[in-house]
Amino acid sequence: MKSDIGMLKAIVGESDVSDELADLYVYSSDASVHQALPSVVVRPKTIEEVQQVMRYANGNRVPVIARGAGSGMSGHAVPIDGGIVLDMKRMNRILEIKPEDILCKVEVGVVNDELNRVLKPYGFFFPPTPSSGNICTIGGMIGTNASGNRAVKYGATRDSVLGLKVVLANGDLVKLGSNTRTDASGYQLARLMVGSEGTLGIVVEATLLLSPLPKYRAMGIANFDKLEDAGRAISDIISTGITPSMLELMDSVAITAVNRALNLGLPDVAAIVIFECDGMVKESVGHDIANIRKTCERHNGSGITVSDDPKEMARIYEGRKKLFPSLSRYGEGLVSTPLADDMAVPMSKIADCVQEIHKVAKRNNVIMSAYGHCGSGLIHTKIMMDPTKESQWEDAKRAVTEIYEYVYKIGGTTSGEHGIALSKAPSWKVEKKDSLEMMRAIKRALDPHNILNPHKLMDAPDDWTKATALRYNVRRG
Amino acid sequence: MGAGHLTRLEGEMNTCIRCAYCFEKCPVFNERGWDSDGARGKVILSYGLLTGQLKPSKYVADKMFRCTCCRDCIERCPSNVNVIDIVSSARADLVASGFAGETHKQVVENIKKTGNIYGDAEVVSPLKEGETPLFLGCQYLSRPNKTKKYIAILEKLGIHPEVQKEVCCGFPMEILGFKAEFESHKEKFSQFFPHKGAIALCPTCTVFLKEGYGLDAKHVLQVISEKIPEAKLGLKVTYHDPCDFSRGLKIIDEPRKILKKLGVEIVEMKDSKVQSACCGGGGGILMSDPSLSDRIAKNRIRQAIETGADTLITSCPTCEQVLKKAATDVGGSEGKNIAVRNIEDIIWMGVK
């Protein structure tokens, strides 16, 4: 690889290639538990540069791993076999905004919140709202099919991608999808790329469907003394036909953590449900909020407060967005690890699943939080543990396996929004056993030399704790 | 491996879940763009040094010293990770391994020899009898006209400051990784400044008197804001919050209250108050990487120009220095002009 650095420098320029160990070390991890060194980091600025890098890599059988902000939680950007990490953040131009067609075209290094800041004067927004929106790139969102807390109304990234430009493994550039809201014929290849975690091509440009900014918004919080009541309220709200723009659950572990880290002043109860409705007509928003309030009350929700004050709504929203990192302050010596972290279950099973999560945690000597975009059936868990103790990883491994076994038993799925990569692959392969060969065939067709983010998804190792080194300084005992 | 300053921080570094939220407004990351340039990158590099996966090197040191220590990352971190503590400890280990920058070494030598960062024995305090201890700090020691102006303002407002011979607070030693030197210097400082409380002129010194020595220190603007009379200056300005002010001391309202009372209209910049963008002058990069410092300062000046105000006011001598230069450069190269002044000039206009 060393001798090839000059070739890469010739493509993107001297200052945008590094094989310094310090840089490789920083690019060896993301927000997951995994760590593996790349051979080189390359920062392309143009499509042509990406094409040239891919031609070189394909010819020399060098792995290529696309990376945005490196905020993925399952190890998507961790180069398990070394190779080239393509840092896509320099490709960050907003190319076109067409309000009349309700779409925009962007390079994939554009940051989600920055795009929305630019779209705001036009009266539009890009609907997916991952908590990491302040730093995550559109490319990363496409790779993982990110969604976020407003997916309950607006859907995930895949629902807002109309078309893509993709550089294939051999360096060819293809245009997939269209500029139109309907595109019925043939295989939906743009949609296939979304959520493929960089294993099928390097997405370089995206045509995105926008939504008009709602004129009115109101948010409420309901307290519950029993977790199962909160779960049933959520299920009931959705099944009665209301479409909130946000419907979130936080259990007592999550409440404690955000209060400690962010001083949010949330009540000390078993669970809270945060709900939000938005729309163009104030009365309609008020009507939906009132119905949600009634549903919560019916399920023993109490202390219900509703606000349409932008500052108060922003305070609660920011607190919710920062929940995952703030879990690292739950207890002395415990850190938050993104394990088994985003399963989705049928709406009717939310309450049961949340209760089971706590039972699994107790059985396995770890602390787990249950929270998430439960209005979409999505439950987040994080495992709080001492990552320096080898025995805690064994505990975590058992807990992850047991949780997924339960999730599948009740008809759920492995990942609702964060993707699979390495951490979730062993269980996901069990869940998707009937699809694996089809996926491998698609992968072989598009990437015959297996250079695009290899050994992820269906090709990931069967033991996530040994797939790569763990990024913590783990000691025996 | 260095002197083990990072050892106590292993838990803190594990607490960092590497979410990258600290990227958002990191001035060095936004200028240079490598993940290793951002706050998260520096935490990861520090972890590598701690675990031995990285050896101390000039390359790592250059990365670690490219930090303005503006505290924006701490403000944004949902896990409340003290990134600056980690960075200064990593710097200390790198310095102990022989990777101190020449300009930084010179500053430390200057403090040891003369008591101030300039190494100039002629820089002395304007001694003055009074009731309330006033700590000037090196930046104001070297700017006697500014110091005299602040003393005159305080006298006008009925506060009688006492100025004694003083030595540097030692913050440059601490932040640049010369921790052993700082420990020796601490004793000397306490001999020169034996007070339990003080008014200080420099925001950075004020923070450090509190955090480094546990003193009951107040910044001079906190005191002035309680006594400022009304005036009608009729100016329209934008106000730059120094990092140590808005994020270190959490002083956001006081300078605005003073300016408003003096009849000055404030037009806020896009990044202001606790989210203020850095001027590029802190953390030692003004000495070790002046070009980077300059680029960050120009970004801030462009934000100031966008407000339409014709004057930027700040309350830190370092911010004033780097922003003045940047304003001149931007004015020359981009044809857009804005004046840069320190708040004491405006206050003096109102109370004299």
Closest Cα of chain A to B82: distance in Å? 13
Q: Which domain holds residue A118?
A: 91-212
- CB-nearest partner of B60 from A22, A87, A387: A22
Residue A134 touches chain B, beta carbons under 8 Å? yes
Provide the chain A residues 184-213 that lie in CB contact (below 8 A) with chain B: none
- CB-nearest partner of A325 from B35, B54, B79: B79
Residues A152 and A230 in one domain: no
Residues A131 and A161 in one domain: yes
Cβ–Cβ below 8 Å for A23 and B36: yes
Residues A208 and A227 in one domain: no
Report the distance separating Cα B68 and Cα B289, nearest Å.
Answer: 10
Residues A199 and A274 in one domain: no
Is A435 within a domain? no
What is the amino acid identity at position B107?
A: V
- CB-nearest partner of B45 from A26, A333, A337: A26
Report the distance separating Cα B312 and Cα B320, nearest Å.
Answer: 9
Residues A206 and A222 in one domain: no
Residues A186 and A254 in one domain: no
Give the residue from A34, A135, A332, A418 with the most B CB atoms within 10 Å of its CB, the best one to mutate: A135
Per-residue pLDDT of chain A (477 residues; tens, 9 = 90+): 655 899 999 999 999 999 999 999 999 999 999 999 999 999 999 999 999 999 999 999 999 999 999 999 999 999 999 999 999 999 999 999 999 999 999 999 999 999 999 999 999 999 999 999 999 999 999 999 999 999 999 999 999 999 999 999 999 999 999 999 999 999 999 999 999 999 999 999 999 999 999 999 999 999 999 988 999 999 999 988 889 999 999 999 889 888 888 888 889 999 999 999 999 999 999 999 999 999 999 999 999 999 999 999 998 888 888 887 788 888 888 999 999 989 999 988 998 999 999 999 999 999 999 899 999 999 999 999 999 999 999 999 999 999 999 999 999 999 999 999 999 999 999 999 999 999 999 999 999 999 999 999 999 999 999 999 999 999 876
Cβ–Cβ below 8 Å for B48 and A25: yes
User: Does the pLDDT at position B44 exceed 90?
Assistant: yes
Where is A343: in which H helix or E strand?
strand A343-344
Tens of pLDDT along B236-281? 999 999 999 999 999 999 999 999 999 999 999 999 999 999 999 9
Show residues of chain A in contact with B21, CB under 8 Å.
132, 134-135, 322, 325
Residues A263 and A307 in one domain: yes
Q: Which residues of B touch A (CB under 8 A)?
A: 10-11, 14-21, 23-24, 33-36, 41, 44-45, 47-48, 50-51, 53-54, 57, 59-60, 63, 77-80
* φ and ψ at residue B193, rounded to 5 degrees: -130, 80
Residue A219 touches chain B, beta carbons under 8 Å? no
Report the distance separating Cα A83 and Cα B159, nearest Å.
Answer: 66
Cβ–Cβ below 8 Å for B35 and A70: yes
CATH number (domain holding residue A95)? 3.30.465.10
Cβ–Cβ below 8 Å for B77 and A135: no
CATH number (domain holding residue A251)? 3.30.70.2190
Contacts of A365 (CB under 8 A, 6+ apart): A392, A395
Q: Which of residues A212, A237, A268 is at a domain's end?
A: A212
DSSP B157-217: TT--EEB------SHHHHHTT-HHHHHHHHHHHHHH---SEEEESSHHHHHHHHHHH--EE
Give the count of domains, chain A: 2
Residues A170 and A235 in one domain: no
Q: Which of residues A165, A195, A212 is at a domain's end?
A: A212
Residues A174 and A284 in one domain: no
Q: Is the dihedral of CA A361, A366, A371, A375 positive or negative?
A: negative
Residues A205 and A237 in one domain: no
Residues A230 and A311 in one domain: yes
User: Does the pLDDT at position B1 exceed 60?
Assistant: no
Q: Is the dihedral of CA B298, B302, B303, B308 positive or negative?
A: positive
Tell me what ipTM this predicted complex has. 0.96
Closest Cα of chain B to A322: distance in Å? 6
What are the structural domains of chain B?
7-96 (1.10.1060.10), 132-224 (3.40.50), 228-351 (3.40.50.11810)
Show residues of chain A in contact with B49, CB under 8 Å.
none
- CB-nearest partner of A324 from B17, B23, B41: B17
Residues A241 and A300 in one domain: yes
Cβ–Cβ below 8 Å for B17 and A262: no
Count the helices and strands in chain B (H runs, E runs): 19, 8
Q: Which of residues A296, A326, A356 is at a domain's end?
A: A326
Q: Is the dihedral of CA A428, A433, A434, A435 positive or negative?
A: positive
